A and B are shown apart, each in its own frame.
Chain A
Amino acid sequence: MKVQLTKLAHARSGDKGDTANIGLIALREEIYPILVREVTAERVKQHFKGICQGNVERFELPNLGALNFLLHESLGGGGTLSLMTDAQGKTFSTALLRMEIDIPDEEALTFDLQG
């Protein structure tokens, strides 16, 4: 079944120059492996098509049940150069939470994720 990330994780995002960072944090410890499996750098790059012009890097923080993504060339030049409302990438966190991932129904039941 398809599950939106907002049911599985919370997040915070920020900026370093023209790079946005998104920390994606599993709502429960047992959800973290699903995030690791499904929310790959490639999927995130695809998700932010038209927004992220550069590459996407992913780092794992199993100790926090979190993934950190760096989305390069995403903030219209970054800092004061950017004309964007969200020049600091603050809302990239919730933009990522829009992503839908596929989870086998059985697994979803184990985690009590009803759609």
Chain B
Amino acid sequence: MKQKVRIAAGQGFWGDLPDAPVRQVEGGPIDYLMLDYLAEVTMSIMQKQRSRDPSAGYAKDFVPLMNQILPACVERNIRVTANAGGVNVEGCADAVREVARGLGLAGKLRIGLVTGDDIMAKLDEFLDRGIELRNMDTGVALSTVRDRIQSANVYLGAAPMVAALNRGAQIVITGRATDTGLTLAPLMHEFGWAPDDWNKIAAGTIAGHIIECGAQCSGGNCQYEWRNIPNLASVGFPIVEAAPDGTFVITKHEGTGGWVIIPSVKEQLVYEMGDPHSYITPDCVADFTTVRLEYEGRDRVRVFGIEGRPATNTLKVSISYSAGYKAVGTLAYSWPEAYDKAQAADRILRERLDRLGLKFDQILTEFVGANATHGPLAGAPSPDLPEVQLRVGVRSENRTAVERFTKEIAPLVLTGPPGVTGFAGGRPKVEEIVAYWPALIPKEEINPVVDIIDV
């Protein structure tokens, strides 16, 4: 058994720095590359893409990335875990296989596919059997939006990825799998951790949590002494160096920018946290109040002491549904009296919308430069602001109403207060809202599937 396993994070979200995974592979020794592509609503976007093109529906960027790094990965036995498969894991794996063949890697590469997360086809059966899939946040039953559902996927844990690794997969491609599982699975595979060795499973889970947002634990978005953070232009993405006992070090490649310090790791630990005693994943319940941190050197933070508890008997389901339409219009008002003019424009706009009899579920006005981020906490703006952006958003079930709204923005330039510009983009775009519906499902209802493809 290895005494140390290095897992490098290459993407914090779908659309993160394109070169980051390449630099993780080329910048120093690693054993695994972990790539997290799926945010909450990504699956519905991919579902839409697949309905237009049956070969689409996965993170397209993953394929050219593999083309770029596969030779190095094969040569140095770097394995990849990625939830790049989206709603079309097979399509994604086929594309990677073609790329690998083109690189002359036939016979040298095994790809593992994890599926079974897509429960779209079984929804009615579940509902008929009394599995209500109530919204975890609001308690509302799924039947209320049944006819508007676009995708439904269960968050799978580490177990099926471990199975794929155990069967020799060098690249493991999943659909909807937890971000933390992408890091935990390699550790369970390498160190032979039992699925009920709760403290170690929790340690691997928290290691995953720390690196799953990429550079957000290594200097990116770091409030602590942000002016002193070195060379963010070349920020190093994080690497977990884990030991068989469940302790690990967060670090990054030498010569990269950013920093790995206790405050940067703490900031990521508390990111998107609920009850810190109970961080619930398919694999365990991790206790963040047991995490201990200490320095082990420059850009090296050692993490230890982690405790966990048995996993729950449910899995989280990520359902997306169509929830109406929205549009956001903006105009820029300049000095003098920029804020007053933007406010006057907002009053005029609302009067016109009222007169048109348009009904919206919500209208929101923000003044960028005065209160768009901190709202009333920002206090009264300086009377002499150099400029203010008026930003008005509307939301409605009725597409026509939202479309009508978009025609009322640019005319304010010729029919409202003076000193205004910033309308060159034309009418705001009407966007269909695909909303997120979190629910729980009993674990025994879900059967993850692991397939192996030899290139």
Contact = CB atoms under 8 A, between A and B. Distances in A.
Same complex for A and B? Answer yes
Interface of A: 10-12, 14-19, 21, 23, 25, 27, 47-51, 59-66, 68, 70, 76-81, 83-86, 91, 93-95, 98
Contacts of B292: 63
Residue with the greatest number of chain A CB neighbours at <10 A, chosen from B289, B394, B434: B289
Contacts of A49: 376
Nearest to A57: B275
24 contacts: A11-B223, A12-B271, A17-B137, A17-B438, A18-B137, A21-B273, A23-B270, A25-B270, A49-B376, A59-B273, A61-B288, A62-B289, A64-B291, A64-B293, A65-B266, A68-B273, A78-B436, A79-B40, A83-B395, A94-B373, A94-B374, A95-B373, A95-B375, A98-B377
A51 B49 CA distance: 36
Contact of A84 (B291, B305, B364, B434): B364
A70 B276 CA distance: 11
A65 B292 CA distance: 11
A61 B271 CA distance: 13
B304 to A, nearest CB: 11
B3 to A, nearest CB: 27
B362 A77 contact: yes
B326 A83 contact: yes
B224 interface: yes
A41 to B, nearest CB: 13
B444 to A, nearest CB: 26
Interface string B149-171: 00000000000000000000000
Nearest to B262: A64
B146 interface: no
Residue with the greatest number of chain A CB neighbours at <10 A, chosen from B277, B368, B372, B375: B375
Given A17-B436, A80-B433, A95-B373, A23 B394 contact: no
Contact of B362 (A23, A83, A86): A83
B272 interface: yes
